[in-house]
Structure 1
Amino acid sequence: MDDVAVDVPELLPGGVLSGTTELDSLPPYGKLSARMTVSAEDAGAEVSRTVWSVPWLPMLLLALAASAWWARRRHLGGRWFFSSRAQSAVVPDSEPEPIAVR
């Protein structure tokens, strides 16, 4: 865990300070957490936040690949790719005999 020092100007009670800080050592995706601690001689406060960073482009490519695979499997009707060729090449040895009905 790295600490980043920020200069805070004098604040009156109930005052608000907004700002941003860029951090270079964060991973590009995953669970990101930040904790801010402000302390003074007589008081202190601590706030923490957690954010999920999702890599949208790889997730989109994965979803497209899964959709293409699902559509291909649905088009084939649950058969394997080469199974239709193998089944059509089989020729029966003899014709079935008809059944006499009385």
Structure 2
Amino acid sequence: MQRTVLQVPLPKELKISAKKAAQDAGFSSLQEVLRVFMKKFASKKIDLAFEEEVTYLSPKAEKRYLKATEDFKKGKNVYYAKDVKEFFKQLDQS
């Protein structure tokens, strides 16, 4: 089997914490984790999903943004400018 070397630049702190997590999970090295992951990923035997932490608005903020959305749909408190000069004139008036 022909081998190749993959170099991945990453922060030192990330490498240290990943290495510790690999050892805690029973792997002999971080390289072993990456080999196992890449083999499963390449053979499409692993599902990969990234989820961001959901941020919820406070009831007051939610009410404010719902009102702004309704106003926008009704054309209330919406301004249009023909050109940049008029746009900045409107900004100066607010």
Bin of the TM-score, shorter chain as denominator length: under 0.3
Highest RCO, 1 vs 2 (Cα 8 Å, sep ≥ 6): 1
Structure 1 length as normaliser, TM-score?
A: 0.26
Larger gyration radius, structure 1 or structure 2 = 1
Structure (1/2) with the larger strand percentage: 1
Structure 2 length as normaliser, TM-score?
A: 0.27
Structure (1/2) with the larger helix percentage: 2
